[in-house]
A and B are shown apart, each in its own frame.
Chain A
Amino acid sequence: MRKMNKSEKHTIDEAYFRKLDTESKVMEVAKNFDTPAGKNQDEVLEAIMARAEKEIPIRKIQIFTWVRAVAALVLIVIGIYAVNTVFSKDKVATGFGEQAELKLPDNSEVILNADSKLTYSSRTYGQSRQLKLSGEAFLDVQKGGEFVIETRNGKVEILGTQLNVYSRGSEFWVSCLRGKVKVSSGDEQQIIEPGELVQLSNRRLVKKVKSDIDHTAAWTQGVFYFEDKPLVSIFEAIERQFNVSVNYQGNENRTITVTFSNKNLQEALDVICIPMGLKYEIRNNKVYIDEKPS
């Protein structure tokens, strides 16, 4: 199999690139894509061995010679170690158009919004309640010791009970419905109380008071509130909730305040597009949005 040296950076020359037709541009740019970095080789090997161990039926041992039996024993030891270290993580993930509700070992409840991922280690959860989140989740936390959610953008420590956490791309905000929450990101730190929201903006955590804090968790009931959000965020939410792809080439940074439910795609598009002077067309799971000709 031919192997390309992917770590090497290719240069793209402006004059050359501009001369290309779309097809060649597609070919050229795609050539320089790469898959996200994964685990290192050792971890992979251990994981494979652990699985081989788990999945090969025991009766096969009878036909093993004693040399193979010894080798298998070594595998078992490595396998058990790997299972304990690598596979003790519980993971819950939602796809597009999905939500998931789950109970953590301490009976705390979590509702995951679409296209979100939550991981925790059930092995150590009893000692320290630590979760990792990407996407959006609503949490109703049982009283107890420390409860920490790590996201790419910052850390959320829960000192009380009900809150909503949002961390997608570089957008990060946390709202508190009941109790008290401590949020930190970089060197910044804020404690918020019911009715307050903290948002990451230019690497600073900004605290805001909201009279309608319930709206931040309305998605758990299938209702989506967006206050002064850019079109791009709203279309991304549409993609997540309705499992469609949205194509819009206009100014994505225009902001809008809008409410829609995840029951009906056309209604949702209507409330966004009509006030913004846009028209849309739905063709096999793709939504094409255009400026309305004036």
Chain B
Amino acid sequence: MYVPVKNFIYYKTGDIEVAEDIAQDAFVKLWEKKEEIRTKSVKSLLYTIAANLCKNRFEHQRVVFEFAKNFTLANDSASPEFEMELKEFSKKLEKAIGGLNEKERVVFLMNRIDGLTYNEIASNLGLSVKAIEKRMKKALDELKRTVEYKL
């Protein structure tokens, strides 16, 4: 549970150290709020606590992401041009992700990086699946627009 919550805050802030701090705080706060657990799922309570801690700390205007990249190219057939192209594309995408609206970014990255389904995201954040679908679509549209923005 620690890693997904940490990631969640990272998607909001783009700062891994802040994300670690807040995720740890959230677990401490969870202990203090253990009475509430009966009414809400532990998971969604944890996300709510983390989101509130994050809100208290600062309003983020613009964030910068530097993701670790997990892909390799399909062996020898890959041309250096394609490698360059892929690198360029990743860079552009990272930048575009930083420019997204926070709510849309969080949903997009929870789905893409953590591999969570819309259902799982909805229950973690206490939102409807419809709302998640909407945010995901908006995120995609915006990313497409920014990435395609050319001369």
Contact = CB atoms under 8 A, between A and B. Distances in A.
Interface of A: 1-4, 6, 8-14, 17, 22-23, 25-27, 29-39, 44, 47-48, 51-52, 55-56, 91, 95-97, 115, 239, 243-245, 247, 249-250, 285-286, 288, 290-291
Contacts of A291: 151
A38 B98 contact: no
Contact of A22 (B82, B94, B144): B144
B149 A8 contact: no
A24 to B, nearest CB: 10
A249 B113 contact: no
Contacts of B144: 22-23, 26
B67 A34 contact: yes
Pick the 7 closest A-B CB pairs, nearest first.
Answer: A33-B67, A30-B112, A32-B71, A4-B115, A13-B74, A34-B68, A32-B70
Contact of B31 (A17, A31, A52): A52
A12 B98 CA distance: 24
B95 A34 contact: no
Contacts of B69: 32-34
Interface of B: 1-2, 4, 6-7, 10, 16-17, 19-20, 24-25, 27-28, 31-32, 43, 61-62, 64, 66-75, 77-79, 82, 86, 89-90, 93-95, 97-99, 108-109, 112-117, 120, 140, 143-144, 146-151
A13 B99 CA distance: 28
Contact of B24 (A29, A47, A91): A47
Nearest to A8: B70
A285 B78 contact: no
A126 B29 CA distance: 35
A31 to B, nearest CB: 5
Most chain A beta-carbon neighbours within 10 Å: one of B6, B28, B93, B150: B28
A222 to B, nearest CB: 19
A22 B112 CA distance: 16
A243 B82 CA distance: 32
A29 B90 CA distance: 7
B89 A30 contact: no
Contacts of A55: 28, 32
A33 B99 contact: no
